[in-house]
A and B are shown apart, each in its own frame.
Chain A
Amino acid sequence: MSAFFAILFYFATLVFVVGTFYRISVYTRTPAPLKIPTTPAPVTTGGVVLRMMREVFLFESLFKANLWTWGLGWLFHVSLALVLLRHLRYFTDPVWPWVAFVQPFGTYAGITMLAGVAGLWARRIFVERIRYISTPSDHLMLALFMAIAISGLTMSFFVHTDVIAVKGFMLGLMHFDLQALPSSIGLYVHLSLVALLMMIFPISKLLHAPGLFFSPGRNQVDNPREKRHIAAWAKRMESEN
């Protein structure tokens, strides 16, 4: 089983990293031929960085749109971030001090993450408009996060796993030195689902994470009159006539 999970994680990491970088490289290579920031928009690069930070950390646009979706979505994402940071302790030895600091918050963030997912799912089921636009994959994605959270929380609070051994396994993976993974159904489920999540990241709507940074409506400086902006394919038209 240890060997199976070792291979699974190497593979999942490969898919995640290569897939995501490939997507980002496509976004980078694809030109934005016209200036289309949603105005009012910042007129300086510094302003754009601030706008982007507000979107990334505060979900500013979503806040304007709908407080329920914003509240649940923000709760979910912040909790997820804390949970991910907490898990760094399985990959660092000695554990970085700030990770140790985050650790207790991260554990409870698992619960708030679950609450966020449950709320978002309820919205998807009970609000007519959202139900209309939902595809099966939208539901499955929430189910996946929910299952990851539940399997993780189960190990934290009910059926404890030998976390020292888990850490040994993960550090071993990082140093290409296979260590034994504790035999635990909860852990197997948790790790399999996380690997699945990593593998579908580059081919699913989870691409909204890198996508935001490449959204011309949000990342462009509003200076079209001051600086000529032209894509290579459009510039070629000028030499044709």
Chain B
Amino acid sequence: MFVTKKHLARRTFLKGAGAAVALPLLDAMVPAFASNVKQNPRIGFVYVPHGAVMARFTPDKVGRDFEFKDIMKPLEPYRDRLSVVSRLHHRAADSTAVHSLSPTTWLSGVRPKPTQGVDAFAGVTADQVAAQAIGQDTLLPSLEIATEDHSGLIGACDRDYGCIYMNTLSWRTPTTPMPMEINPRKVFERMFGQGDNAEARLKRRREDRSILDALTAQATGLQKDLGAHDRGTLDNYLEGVREIERRLDRAESQVASNPDLVIPEAPAGIPYEYENHVGTMFDLLTLAYRADITRVFTFMMAREVSNRTYTQVGVTEGHHAVSHHQNRPEKLEWCARIQNYHIGLFGKFLAQLDAIPDGDGSLLDNTILMYGSNMSNSNAHDHYPLPVMVLGGGRGKLKGGQHIMAEEHTPMTNLLVTLLDKTDVPVDKLGDSTGVIAEL
């Protein structure tokens, strides 16, 4: 049966500054929902905006003997499971609408249709290709998360390519973007359901299940009077209903097979400090991988044109403003500090994954992660050469410990195809791909 780790009633007050929001998600030893006999491929994509100071990112030396430049320094402990792939290019993002196009094209390599969103049409992204292949047996086919939404960024989107392309990394179909969740509590509830105890959760799932049945009938009834376009919207609604039904059914059977499951405490909401926010999201992703709740995620650690300040590393100006650095030394320094800081936070996630045994190795050994930005030099707003690296052991399929220098202007999509291939999701082509990165 379910056991809630600590009942709130017994811990009337939470102590200490900050402790209230950063709940110890990882303290709860959640066994995998499904029996993890077969080692499953896992893949995840972590995105940062505004490129990198490439001279302080890309190693000088090629091959196994490469050196860590200062931005990447926090990842040195994972050298053996890390590859930098340089000289990749995303042509799909080459346009004046850099900030709008960078997120949507990063995992697809397809330039979307210019529109304010009415008839948005973009390439299906690599994460969703993976989710459709390896995500169908897990509770959630994929998780899409971020730390900022666009509610404070009106007018920041491009006139020709609307906000819809800036708001997500993930497109399930050419017309269905996957919204990214910024609230850890809601991510948690997607993963574990709602309710204070096993009985409440069960009751809730059953009630949800029967409500969904009723909604199907209602939507179908409503649909028959509508034109084709509107019917399509309700089709999406119905597809949502069916997907949640499948999820509830899976939860039911997985709970039944895991009588001793312990559910950790839910995060209270969006943590105030960025570091806590990102940390809580990484905790949830770690949990999701460990409990096999999903095998695919995308995480936008910060948003394009975000003007978040990073006073914790001495950057008092907004990130976007700083990113237009004009090659001025102090601004480049600030950019590098932010990039180094982001990578440091990502490094903590790697440490967590590496500390969790999985099969013969650790979770990190059995995972494929890609980290990077869809911009190179943020001052020039260009998309070549992109800062990108691949992490994890990929169940022995990834050769780490190298700096691979690809041919000039190699499509970034070649790397995506390669990673999908290593995740047991072979595809012939993605966007403008022309092949694979064989060295990986």
Are A and B associated in one complex?
no
